[in-house]
Structure 1
Amino acid sequence: MPSKPPGLKSLADLKSVQRTLAETREREAAQAAARAAVEKKRLAEQDLFSRAIGATQPLRRQAAVPLAPEPPAPIPFQHQLDEQRVLRESISDEFDVTTLLDVDDAMSFRRPGIGTDVTRKLRAGEWAIQRQVDLHGLRSDAAREALGAFIRTAHRQGVRCVRVVHGKGLGSPGKQPVLKTKAQRWLIQKNEVLAFVQAKPAEGGAGALVVLLAPVGR
């Protein structure tokens, strides 16, 4: 049987390749046409939107204003200075107390209108001591301010009976009880003080005073 000429096989292969290339070009052309149609539609819709809303311009960006942190609460220096000035003015070292003190076996004071039974009960310890302040060893100015603040605070809080420790003055020049005398003067000038007596020996004796304060509101 005679064999097929080899040229026929090559021609068939060439036609197959040409057909494949033609199909590829047609497919690519169809894809490009589809993409072009989509882009044309998008541009048409965008143009339609622009014509519908008219001319536009970008929004201006609002300038940001940095906010300062909230300042801390002011320190009431002036109020503190006023308090200290009132305290200094309210009790003087030059106040004459000689006519106001009861001179007996133990020095005592009672405001006008306060009976002798009050100082007697103070000496007997019938009022319980609720607070005390120790001025012993303080300089005069510091002791005056400490005593004034102590009496004022105790009275505001409703305390009735306190003890003021001033020392016996044995370490002072000439062994004179300077702070004791000043403490008596300061207490007499405080309106919150109704009376005071020298403390009992077990409670400080000549180095302390037991003080009766007025009720709150008086």
Structure 2
Amino acid sequence: MQKKVSVASTSISAEDSQLFRQSITGARPIAQDKIPPVVAPRKKKRRTDVSSKQLDENLFWFSDEFEGYVADSSTLSWVQQGDDPHLPGRLRRGEFQPQVVLDLHGLTAQQAKTELAGLLAYCDKQQFNCACVVHGKGLGILAKKVPNWLIQHPNVRAFHTAPKSWGKHGALLLVLKIAN
């Protein structure tokens, strides 16, 4: 291993100091223009896992104008016509455990609709029969829209307000059809 060689600092001679002062005579400080540096815009990250055609197919089921579900109370419950009428009660009692959870906090209605469509497509692909959608309470915008979107999708058999352990009035538990 080689030793580092240190250079001894020498003091500046009086002659060098005088020469430096003569060379900077008449110099004036530069005025700051205070223009912030330009930051190059970042490229937006694109989702590579979902093609736009597939996204359009997933969103096909959801209409914002359709309002087929009106909540009578703070507890939301719905069963698809012709299905087991006891499904919401079983969801309320916690007989179904969600295999996937979707949190919609902080999303716009359009983003939430896209994510919900993706969740239902994912559940269909993975053969999941129960999911939890956390829409939050907030202003109640998503709390009103999510049930109306869900009743439009043919794979949703039933939903009910989630038990306390899964989010209570800020979440829904869904029972989904499983394709054979």
Shorter-chain TM band: 0.5 to 0.7
What is the alpha-carbon distance in structure 2 between the residues aligned to residue 155 and residue 81 of structure 1? 18
The aligned counterpart of 1:114 is: 83
Contact 2:102–2:133 (CA under 8 A) maintained in structure 1: yes
Q: 1:210 aligns with which of 173, 176, 180?
A: 173
The aligned counterpart of 1:186 is: 149
The 5-angstrom pairing of residues 164-179 of structure 1 reads 164-169=133-138, 176-179=139-142
**How many angstroms does 1:137 deviate by?**
0.7
* TM-score of the pair, normalised by structure 1: 0.56
TM-align CA RMSD:
2.0
What is the alpha-carbon distance in structure 1 between the residues aligned to residue 74 and residue 129 of structure 2? 25
SS in 2 for 1:116: coil
Structure richer in helix, relative to its length: 1
The 5-angstrom pairing of residues 14-93 of structure 1 reads 80-93=51-64
Contact 1:136–1:167 (CA under 8 A) maintained in structure 2: yes
In the alignment, structure 1 residue 157 sits paired with structure 2 residue 101: no
In the alignment, structure 1 residue 95 sits paired with structure 2 residue 58: no
What is the alpha-carbon distance in structure 2 between the residues aligned to residue 156 and residue 165 of structure 1? 21
What is the alpha-carbon distance in structure 2 between the residues aligned to residue 104 and residue 119 of structure 1? 15
1:118-150 Cα offsets, whole Å, 9 max, x none, are 111111011121111111111111111111011
What is the alpha-carbon distance in structure 1 between the residues aligned to residue 81 and residue 108 of structure 2? 31
Contact 2:58–2:121 (CA under 8 A) maintained in structure 1: no
* TM-score of the pair, normalised by structure 2: 0.67
Number of equivalent positions: 132
Q: Relative to structure 2, which stretch is displaced further, 125-134 or 103-112?
A: 103-112
* Contiguous gaps of at least 5 residues in structure 1: 1-76, 170-175
- Match of 1:190, as an amino acid? H
- Match of 2:93, as an amino acid? A
Q: 2:162 aligns with which of 199, 202, 212?
A: 199
* Contiguous gaps of at least 5 residues in structure 2: 1-47
Identity of aligned residues (%): 31
What is the alpha-carbon distance in structure 2 between the residues aligned to residue 104 and residue 111 of structure 1? 19
Contact 2:134–2:167 (CA under 8 A) maintained in structure 1: yes
Distance 1:207 1:148, change over 3 A: same
